[in-house]
């Protein structure tokens, strides 16, 4: 599909559209705005908790357009931020405009989608840089019942937006 007539940009726009569509599909919604907010919140929350080097390694695997979103508003001189679990949850919820209780499910679903798009181990390598309680927040899988539902093809439902 041609958007700009510039092959590299058009490819990045198309790839970004597919990533957002895949996030929306993972939640069983057609709300692409929600999917974008969830993905953006995931990228920014993880980015701000990582070292500059780890953040850059993760960004290198993103499509060009999403890499720009990832770096938007980033201040490498102020990372990693030492957010604890509560602060990460608040930050993510505010950025995604979802309830705090929805953050674990949302973060895990986005992690699963992003992991499927990147080189094997790319996301996991970044997650291992986090303290255990934060790593668990981002890791897909959840409780055994949720993993079984995921294997059977069930989708997570999209959280309700908080205004």
- Distance, in Å, from the CA atom of 89 to the CA atom of 116, rounded to the nearest integer, reads 23
What is the rounded distance in angstroms from the CA atom of residue 23 to the CA atom of residue 31? 10
CB 123 within 8 A of CB 114: yes
pLDDT confidence band for 20 (50 / 70 / 90): very high
**Region for residue 18 given its phi and psi (left: phi exceeds 0; alpha: psi -120 to 50; beta: otherwise):** alpha
Question: Is the predicted pLDDT of residue 27 greater than 60, yes or no?
Answer: yes
Residue 148: per-residue pLDDT: 36
Q: pLDDT confidence of 152, banded at 50, 70, 90?
A: very low
pLDDT (mean) for 118-141: 90
pLDDT more than 70, % of the chain: 85
Q: Is 77 within 8 Å of 109 (Cβ atoms)?
A: no
Cis, bond preceding 115 (omega within 30 deg of 0): no
Q: Are 97 and 36 in contact (CB under 8 A)?
A: no
| 34 and 110 Cβ atoms separated by less than 8 Å | no
Q: Residue 150: is its pLDDT beyond 60?
A: no
pLDDT digits (tens, 9 = 90+) for 41-95: 999 999 999 999 999 999 999 999 999 999 998 988 887 888 899 999 999 999 9
* pLDDT averaged over every residue in the chain: 86
pLDDT interval class at 157 (50, 70, 90):
low
pLDDT of residue 16: 95
CA 140-129-21 angle, 5° bins: 40
Angle formed by the axes of helices 103-117 and 32-49, nearest 10°: 90
């Amino acid at each position: 599909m041609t958007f700009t007539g510039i092959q590299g940009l058009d490819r990045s726009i198309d790839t970004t559209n597919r990533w957002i569509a895949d996030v929306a599909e993972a939640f069983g919604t057609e709300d692409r705005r929600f999917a974008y907010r969830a993905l953006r919140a995931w990228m920014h929350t993880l980015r701000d908790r990582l070292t500059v080097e780890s953040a850059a390694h993760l960004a290198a695997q993103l499509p060009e357009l999403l890499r720009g979103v990832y770096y938007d508003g980033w201040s490498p001189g102020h990372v990693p931020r030492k957010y604890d679990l509560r602060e990460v949850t608040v930050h993510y919820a505010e950025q995604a405009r979802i309830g705090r209780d929805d953050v674990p499910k949302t973060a895990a679903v986005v992690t699963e989608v992003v992991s499927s798009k990147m080189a094997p181990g790319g996301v996991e390598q970044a997650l291992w840089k986090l303290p255990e309680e934060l790593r668990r927040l981002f890791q897909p899988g959840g409780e055994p019942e949720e993993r079984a539902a995921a294997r059977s093809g069930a989708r997570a439902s999209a959280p309700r937006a908080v205004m």
